[in-house]
Chain A
Amino acid sequence: MTPDQPTIAEHDPTTTHSLATSSDHRRPALLVLEDGRAFSGVSFGATGETTGEAVFATGMSGYQETLTDPSYQGQIVVATAPHIGNTGWNDEDDESRRIWVAGYVVRDPSPRPSNWRSRRSLDAELVAQGIVGIAGIDTRALTRHLRELGAMRSIISTDDLDVASLTEKVRRSPTMTGAYLAGEVTTAKPYVVPAAEPRQFTVVAVDLGLKAMTPTLMSQRHIDVHVVPAGATIEQIEQIAPDGVFFSNGPGDPAADDASVELLRQVLARRIPFFGICYGNQIFGRALGFGTYKLRYGHRGVNQPVQEVAGGTVEITAHNHGFAVDAPLGRDLETDFGTARVSHICLNDDVVEGLELRDGDRLVAFSVQYHPEAAAGPHDAAHLFDRFTALMAAARPRPQTTPPAEPPDEADGIASTGEVR
């Protein structure tokens, strides 16, 4: 921030206080679900028409991070927190190069942002990026509906206000099941996020919808992060000669992404240390031979209790996933690459939240379904990045010039000592 920055943002003339009334100059808007249920509200952000899978996100903070999370590609996000836009839009908190949500559903958009870092209003940013939203609807009723009936396709329109017509359109739109979307969000070209000095590790991060905080946290841990697009080959990775490989979060149905699964199998076969997050966890699951399935309405929020199975410790974690790995809890499974087990579960519903792969007693690869990079969300699981560096350090054949990190089972203090941090 610059010192001369005004502490109160100018009032944004594009927003108005009033909502859902005749006195309002916002345009009427309609949200229709594929089962025909309709909600009428007013336009928010850009006007026009958009389709996507309606999902609800329960975080009370961090809408900027949420909207710029590539995992939301193709989804219309319903914010359960009623006031959205309070802190405006700043230049620092984006998790990627743009907003990805297909549409945004809120109850009460903030007429005026207030935060020292705010540069413009959320409404203005949505308009600038052409994101169609709807405001002034009963978001709780919509959330309850999605909870009971499951995530479903939906449409928002400010052009067409006919429920029947919109229902027909939404039923023609693509479903999330079977959708391969990583290719739509991945980086066009490889790039490097340099390590904080002194550099200790090199990691190839396969961008399947990578959030900016992930390479940032790796960089802070002295990792040079070579981000490569989805569809990279094992040869391209080997050329970089990384200490480890990372598969990011991302949108879409993991069952539709055989290429990433094959790539990861090649990585595992070469015994390169691996860490995966979210979609990366699902791809890891598939590489190990497990299936994946679609959750009824997914986990999207920043308050989910995840238990580390071995130590019993509970962490509050950020989630954004509609699919999950179908793996048995509580027992070891022999795979092509070693012994796999479910390392983490969500205490709300016992969904698989983490996997690990061991060669004998030695950890060789691990992944989590949730978001240790947070952004938005709690930082409870940030230590998993340390676990990754420890894994890479332990896998190195020769002594280090810099002091080596602890071997994985020691550094990963949860499992061995029952303590956190």
Chain B
Amino acid sequence: MFSLSRKDVTTLAIFSVIVLTMPIWLSPLGAAYPGLMQKFAIYAIFAIGFNILFGLTGYLSFGHAAFLGVGSYTAVWSFKLLSMDMIPALIFAVIFAGIFALFIGYFSLRRSGIYFSILTLAFAQMSYSLAYSVLTPITNGETGLLIARDDPRAIDALLGVNQTTSGMPTPSLLGFDLGGYGGFYICAVVSIAAFFLSQKIFASPFGMALRGIKSNQTRMKYTGFDTKPYMLTAFVISGMFAGLAGGLLAVTDPIAGAERMKWTESGNIVLMTILGGVGTLVGPVVGAWLIKYFENIFSAINVNMLNAFFDFLPEGMQAVMVTILSKFVGEGWHLTLGLMFVVIVVFLPGGLVEGTERLMRWLRRRSKERDEPTGQVASGRTGNE
């Protein structure tokens, strides 16, 4: 049940090491603080889940943020009503997101291609509007759902767990506090488990069937293969991953806001996946990290920091450099991201993973000192990377 191919084991081991050593290798990049590293791990889960749908079946869902939101709201309600422990919160988050995905998937999957994308987008925008204003008693609208000191918390009350020593109650795991690095390691372990699960799915006959649907659904149907249940299962699994990510967002930071379900967030996850490499195992994760890094670190660079950075240049040069670069950092971080996206989509359609592969191939060729012309190889999308 836990067996993997040798290649997958290596990938899993490397992935685990990279995720767990984040506090070390991210510190020169200025990103080694728990808040962002938690986001890295959580959005990795989100991207992995999205990739199971988009990468394997080719169905582009434009409403995945809705499941993230459902997961978050469920988790916060679990904190409010049941317990500050993360286990029930995550279980309910996954279940509710799964049910929600079943509902949306049932209707959306009746169409394919662009119509499917539009349907999911419509459902997601509907959920966003519901969360923003209609369902305010449940979601607390624009302000976001927060925990309060006097929430009932039935299980905690039953077990006599009292967290109100000082300040607000915080989420915990069997009594361990989940603030800061603790929260990060929990998220990291869950993301490694999610990565393992997606490896299993990619390697399974089920994953094979999904790839078949991607390459030619009509042919699959002619061979007597009912594709619908497979599609729906993939959609629900993908939604559950998103729900898990949403639940973890609430665990590390107990608030759920409607903005999490907005279409821009759904668009973000599509960007992450394409940036990293659609259909590859690690690609979406890399894409997620890159976008989160830009969003959090690049947007915080201001003119003062640039001035300090270019201090070594002569006066005039420093001013020129700072003026030019300041357009690309701080409030202009979207610009940098956009440029990078265009460059990657135009020159590396398979995303960063393909870029890395090309680089490796090139290096290998060079070392062999052979210069044969190479054909177009689309190996960036074959999976099992």
Chain B binds chain A = no
A residues within 8 Å of B by Cβ? none
